[in-house]
Amino acid sequence: MTETITLPGLVDVHTHLRVPGGEHKEDFRTGTAAALAGGITTILGMPNTSPPLSTPEVLAAAREQAAQDILCDVGLFAGASPEEINRLVECAPRAAALKIYLNDTFGPLRVEDVPTLMACFATWPRDKMIAMHAEKQSVAVGIGLAATYNRPVHFCHISRRHEIELIAQAKAKGLPVTCEVTPHHLFLTEADATRLGPLGDMRPLLGTPSDVAALWEHLPETVDCIATDHAPHTLAEKQSATPPPGVIGLETSLPLMLTAVQQNRLTLERLIELMHTNPRRIFNLPQQPDTAVTVQLTADTITNEMVQSKCGWTPFHGTEVAAKVQKVVLRGEVVFEDGRVLAQPGSGKLLS
Ligand code: NCD
Ligand code: ZN
């Protein structure tokens, strides 16, 4: 008989849901279906939509759409934008946290000036997290702001050896910083980027073997969360002359991480901290009563055909894993079972 294990509902603090403006890539229903298929019952949606979630009006409209469509619990990030910075405080009641993009990636949001950074840190409510897309020396900028304003900063998708080492040193000094890493930065390297072409292109880029080794070395201590950076783009877009960066991850994160548990690369207890306890604590997200994920510990192959996300492909197509999500119960309701999403649109809770 196949062994099964039960986990709490998992949390992903880094998902791109593409509403408004990118509904051909993903929408609130398909994105939350992908989450449930991956054993994830709470997600935080990123603000680099079109237009971005940088004004209370755009946030309110996105929340209205989400309330009708979501299958699991969803909070939205507000996005810092220099042009709309005077509207930032009004965004706070409708947002779970603030996202600041310091480096280039998909979408228009970018903060490259000190006055905007100062305004973010001076005005964003202290009880809500500030998360940063910070690569290379920008990590030092984020650590400096956390120290200067004495308030927590969460670093998204840390991917390079010197970045995780800098964060480890900041933590050793007692600075209030936390960080996430993605499964694609743990399981793929720059060699896979070459093999996959545009399907292996994302920000941050896939690392060297030394970068990947550093992330695994720091998984027991420095890393706080596994986050997917689920960033759907259609195959046609990826195969175009100007492919956008990003790959999906909601459905493959848990099977990949449980495969690492089976290989003794981390413990099951640590996996639960990284994918449930820590993200919930860091972003102050509510508990979900009567919620559980049943996983079969069985050989499985990830394929494009099983993908619930609207984009319909995964960079892990063909990858062998050692676990398969069998069933998800959210607040007492069976919302996913044997490959089928059973939740009703609008049954998820919208977080503020
Ligand atoms: C993300 C996207 O497509 O929205 N792309 C990516 O490569 N990660 C943007 C981001 O998170 O940087
Ligand atoms: Zn992202």
Looking at the domain assignment, is residue 177 inside a domain?
A: yes
Residue 265 forms part of a structural domain: yes
Domain assignment present for residue 228? The answer is yes
Rg (CA), the chain: 19
* Domain assignment of residue 322, yes or no: no
pLDDT confidence of residue 139:
98
- CATH number of the domain residue 247 falls in: 3.20.20.140
Count of domains for the chain: 1
Interval between CA 290 and ligand 2 midpoint (Å): 30
Is residue 332, in this structure, part of any structural domain at all?
Answer: no
The reported pLDDT for the residue numbered 352 is 85
Rama region for 289: left / alpha / beta (φ>0; ψ in -120 to 50; rest) = beta
Protein residue whose Cα sits closest to atom 6 of ligand 1? 246
Q: Whose CA is nearest to atom 11 of ligand 1?
A: 229
Q: The domain containing residue 275 runs over which residues?
A: 10-290
In the chain, which residues have pLDDT < 50? none
272 CB-contact burial (10 Å; exposed 0-12 / middle 13-18 / buried 19+): middle
Residue 162 inside a domain? The answer is yes
48 lines ligand 1 (CB under 6 A): yes
- 282-332 pLDDT, tens digit each: 999 999 999 999 999 999 999 999 999 999 999 999 999 999 999 999 999
Question: Is 351 part of any domain?
Answer: no
- The DSSP symbol for 349 reads P
Answer yes or no: is 3 within a domain: no
For the Cβ of 107 lying below 6 angstroms from any atom of ligand 1, the answer is yes
Q: Which contacts of 165-172 are long-range, i.e. CB under 8 A and separated by 24 or more positions?
A: 165/214, 165/218, 166/139, 166/140, 167/139, 167/143, 167/222, 168/218, 168/221, 168/222, 170/143, 170/146, 171/222
Relative to beta strand 324-330, strand 320-321 is unpaired
pTM for this model (two decimals): 0.98
Identify which of 13, 25, 48 to mutate to test ligand 1's pocket (most ligand atoms within 8 A of the CB).
48
Ligand in nearest proximity to the CA of 231: 1
